[in-house]
Amino acid sequence: ILNYDIMARFRRRTCIILLLFILFICSIMMALKTLRPDRAGFGDPFGLGLLPELQQRTELLDKQNSLNRVQGDSVTQTSNMHAAGVSAVKASVPPVDKLEEELSSPNYNFHIFYYSWFGNPQFDGKYIHWNHPLLPHWDPKIANNYPKGRHNPPEDIGANFYPELGSYSSKDPSVIEAHMKQMLSASIGVIALSWYPPGMADENGEPTDDLVPVILDYAHKYNLKVTFHIEPYKDRDDRSMYHNVKYIIDKYGAHPAFYRHKTSTGRSLPMFYVYDSYVTIPEIWANLLTVSGSQTIRNTPYDALFIALLVEERHKHDIHRSGFDGMYTYFATNGFSYGSSHHNWASLKAFCDSNNLMFIPSVGPGYIDTSIRPWNNHNTRNRVNGKYYETAFSAALSVRPEIISITSFNEWHEGTQIEKAVPKRTGQIVYLDYKPHKPNVYLELTQKWSEKYRKEKEQWLM
């Protein structure tokens, strides 16, 4: 009887211990579920920051569902945000890049500003643009409080973020191809290529017109199109613009990747973004862009859609008077200018609609240029883990534009890039990065909003 009693107590104790262990495991599982809510919003510090490593392992298993899911608000669901490491989970899963290409198709209403001005010793004999100088403030008293000199690549570059591809050369074919793959994965359709006439360049760069044929070829390989973002070259006026537009169309217009926009009247016309258009007076532009102008390009083989940069509110009247076909806002800093302030887009769109102009808002992921303008902290806009970018897209979609432009793919100096960036620390320099997300998070966000735009546009046309 004594032995039986001892055995019975032992069994009861064992059952109690086992039950307590099961309850402990269940409570841990419930706690973990609570710590990573399924609806944690992009930019929600609790939902995103607490368990980034766990999220990276668990949120990538169904890439197709993640890419195709479109939410109805401006806050990204965390399950849409990660796209890397799938092949590490299952050997049979194809690489992420290949998967992204298969799932993405170009959206020709999404245009992205692209810069081919970077160089390195391997391809160019020296560093170009990565060694950007520190620009002094215009007030000498303020300028004296900040460092001077140039950056010293490859460890020290003129950017606050560091590219996954390193301090690359824009001439490197593998770099060009990698960029095209990234753009395709983001469902971007049109590259707005920064362009100076042959023999000309910005003050820190070298001429790049000879790169255009290579960029066109690689763009065509990935079914992308190329338009031209004409920079404010020396002595730009109506005559030189006519000559340069003629040069571009004669030399590149027959290429299958050369972008033409189908207008409401059924014509397919080249498109040119004209940066800093406001520095030239409307009367000069009118010579080129109005039917009665002395240098008119209208109703000639070189007619095109010309898109002016709107900075101040008064520029909208100048743009209309000049004969431009539309306006874009370029700057990624919400509040920096009238045009880049999201809350002004509705009135600008209304003005354009009433004057038969295109309104092309420019969205950006953030802004920081203190690596080259160390005194310009007040224009920095934090990315907020992608929420800033999504807010800009939401504002753009709300005005139902025909085209959305993105600032930028790779303007690294101003921190507006969506190109892949990686964490890097070297000496005294700690670069910003996209953590807790992967290097391609802004490509994924762009792809998400590209699909959202396509679906919403179907509703606008009904």
DSSP states of 38-64 as a string? TTPBTT-HHHHHS-HHHHHHHTTS-HH
How distant, in Å, are the alpha carbons of 49, 115, 186, 207 from that of 233? 45, 15, 31, 11
Ramachandran region of residue 213, left (φ > 0), alpha (ψ -120 to 50) or beta? alpha
DSSP element (H, E) containing 177: helix 173-185
Q: Which two tokens stand for residue 125?
A: 């004999």
* Residue whose structure tokens are 């207008």: 263
Report if residue 72 sits inside a domain: no
Alpha helices (H) along 313-440:
315-322, 345-354, 387-398
Q: Which two tokens stand for residue 140?
A: 């000498």
Residue pair 170/116 in contact by the 8 Å Cβ criterion? yes
Largest Cα–Cα distance in the chain? 118
The pLDDT, as a whole number, for residue 76 is: 34
Cα dihedral 266, 271, 273, 278 sign:
negative
DSSP element (H, E) containing 220: helix 212-221
Q: Which two tokens stand for residue 301?
A: 């083989």
Name residue 64's amino acid: Q
In the chain, how many domains are there? 1
Length of the chain counted residue by residue: 462
Q: Which two tokens stand for residue 66?
A: 């993640």
The pLDDT, as a whole number, for residue 4 is: 52
Which residues are CB-contacts of 445 (< 8 A; sequence separation ≥ 6)?
Answer: 76, 81, 365, 386, 389, 390, 393, 418
Instruction: For 62-142, list the strands marked E by DSSP.
Output: 107-114
**How close are the terminal C-alpha atoms of the chain, in Å?**
86
CA separation for the pair 454, 449 (Å, rounded) = 8
Report if residue 451 sits inside a domain: yes
Report if residue 38 sits inside a domain: no
Q: Which two tokens stand for residue 10?
A: 């032992």
Domain boundaries, position 266: 111-461
Q: Domain of 191: which CATH number? A: 3.20.20.80
Run means of pLDDT, 10 residues per run, the chain, 462 residues: 58 75 62 34 27 32 34 33 31 39 81 98 98 95 94 97 98 98 98 98 96 98 98 97 98 98 92 98 98 97 98 98 98 97 98 98 98 96 98 98 98 98 95 97 98 93 72
The pLDDT, as a whole number, for residue 133 is: 97
* Residue whose structure tokens are 């309104």: 359
Report if residue 62 sits inside a domain: no
Cα dihedral 240, 246, 249, 252 sign:
negative
Report if residue 89 sits inside a domain: no
Report if residue 224 sits inside a domain: yes
Q: Count Cα neighbours of 51 within 13 Å in the Cβ-side half-sphere.
A: 16
How distant, in Å, are the alpha carbons of 121, 238, 333, 335, 421 from that of 339? 39, 24, 10, 8, 28
The pLDDT, as a whole number, for residue 25 is: 66
The pLDDT, as a whole number, for residue 289 is: 98
Report if residue 200 sits inside a domain: yes
CB-CB neighbours of 232 under 10 Å: 15
Collapsed DSSP state (helix, strand, coil) of residue 111: strand
The pLDDT, as a whole number, for residue 108 is: 98
Estimate to the nearest angstrom the gap between the alpha carbon of 438 and the chain centroid: 15
Residue pair 170/122 in contact by the 8 Å Cβ criterion? no
Instruction: For 281-364, list the strands marked E by DSSP.
Output: 305-309, 326-328, 358-360, 362-363
Closest CA to 256 of 222, 280, 307: 222
CA separation for the pair 202, 290 (Å, rounded) = 29
Report if residue 27 sits inside a domain: no
Which residues are CB-contacts of 437 (< 8 A; sequence separation ≥ 6)?
Answer: 81, 82, 385, 386
